[in-house]
Amino acid sequence: MSTFLLLVGAVVGIAYLFRHIVVKGKQCNSKARLVGKTVIVTGSNTGIGKSTAIDLAKRGARVILACRSVQRGQAALEEVKRESGSNQVVFMPLDLGSLKSVCSFAENFLKSEPRLDILINNAGIFVQGRTEDGLGMMFGVNHIGHFLLTNLLLDRLKECGPSRVVSVSSAGHNFGKINFDCLNTHKALGIGTSSMDVFQFYCDSKLCNVLFTHELAKRLKGTKATCYSLHPGAINTELARNTSSVLQMLLKPMTVFFWKNTVQGSQTTLHCALQEGIEPLNGRYFSNCTVRELYAKAKDDAAAKKLWELSERLCGLA
């Protein structure tokens, strides 16, 4: 019995160390104050987006919560104000699955806000379907919506430099691929509906985020704006809320023991948004508050340029 108890104790101890040392990860060390600065955080009504918004508001930034759901956005607005102690927090509706909504958001923002110092493309979904514009849902929301938003706000970002664009990707991009034939034919990353198909298309959309940042960095050369993409870690958020109940049940133990909470998960986003001196790393990819090397497909100049030009056509910029 004593041997069994010792074994159980050892397992619990290892799990504790893994949870608090390996899983927790590094913290953003920047002490930057953001009084007089304006930040947009998409998808900031929940998860790491909300934790990011709270941190930035505590630093004195004027924070724009850009969210699809008015009800959830208003609730998040009150929570972010309460947790940060700041009244410089505003909710503005934004549906990244609607090109019309993205254009309306950008127009309203540019009319009402004189500055934009940091744009955090945080929102993401894990669900198959179609946007109102006929795009594949994950391609449309995770990539095209943010692509259009960034381009519509780019002049303001350049005017307010030094400024930054931070795009939340995922290590899943390593499993991604870009099927340009499918994009041209179906305006989607793929057309399957199985669980494995959905996972693949999610990874594909995250590869789009990294390639978008790679190409954007080239286009920002000579300006005071820089951009970064990142993997936040495995986070216990609502990202999988649209998956099957069986899958959610199977994932539950992992979320408790091996996944970061939202505050821990927001640290690399904050690092990319705030850390002093990373401007020479324009266009690079970060994980655990550290710059990382990418596989060749994630920094392919030709693929990044091709995706950019296709994205311009699909959202009406070309």
> 22 in a domain, yes or no?
no
Q: Tens of pLDDT along the chain (318 residues)?
A: 455 444 434 333 333 333 344 456 899 999 999 999 999 999 999 999 999 999 999 999 999 999 999 999 999 999 999 999 999 999 999 999 999 999 999 999 999 999 999 999 999 999 999 999 999 999 999 999 999 999 999 999 999 999 999 999 999 999 999 999 999 999 999 999 899 999 999 999 999 999 999 999 999 999 999 999 999 998 765 554 444 554 444 444 444 445 789 999 999 999 999 999 999 999 999 999 999 999 999 999 999 999 999 999 999 998
Residue type, 313: R
> 55 in a domain, yes or no?
yes
Q: How far is CA 112 from CA 38, 82, 92, 191, 228, in A?
A: 12, 24, 11, 40, 26
Q: What is the pTM of this model?
A: 0.88
Tell me the angle at which helices 99-112 and 145-159 cross, rounded to the nearest 10 degrees. Answer: 20
User: Using CA atoms, how far apart are residues 203 and 259, in angstroms rounded to an integer?
Assistant: 18
> 294 in a domain, yes or no?
yes
Task: Please give the residue range of the domain that contains residue 283.
Answer: 33-315
Q: Which residues are catalytic?
A: 202
> 245 in a domain, yes or no?
yes
Rg value, the chain, Cα: 20
Q: Classify 187 in phi/psi space as left (phi over 0), alpha (psi -120 to 50) or beta.
A: left
Tell me the angle at which helices 145-159 and 301-314 cross, rounded to the nearest 10 degrees. Answer: 100
Q: Which residues contact 186 (CB under 8 A, 6 or more apart)?
A: 136
Q: Decide if 41 contacts 49 (C-beta within 8 A).
A: yes
User: What percentage of the chain reaches a pLDDT higher than 90?
Assistant: 83
Q: Structure tokens of 241?
A: 């809320």
- Which residues is 165 bridged to in the sheet? 119, 227
> 296 in a domain, yes or no?
yes
Which residue in 210, 205, 213, 215 sits closest to 183, CA to CA? 205
64-101 pLDDT, tens digit each: 999 999 999 999 999 999 999 999 999 999 999 999 99
User: Using CA atoms, how far apart are residues 223 and 221, in angstroms rounded to an integer?
Assistant: 5
Q: Say how many domains are in the chain.
A: 1
pLDDT (0 to 100) of residue 4 = 42
pLDDT (0 to 100) of residue 17 = 36
Q: What is the dihedral of CA 201, 240, 169, 117, to 10 degrees?
A: 130
> 1 in a domain, yes or no?
no
> 27 in a domain, yes or no?
no
CATH code (residue 253): 3.40.50.720
267-301 pLDDT, tens digit each: 999 999 999 999 999 999 999 999 999 999 999 99
> 182 in a domain, yes or no?
yes
Q: Decide if 125 contacts 187 (C-beta within 8 A).
A: no
pLDDT (0 to 100) of residue 240 = 47
Which residue in 214, 185, 220, 130 sits closest to 310, CA to CA? 185
Q: Structure tokens of 21?
A: 């040392």
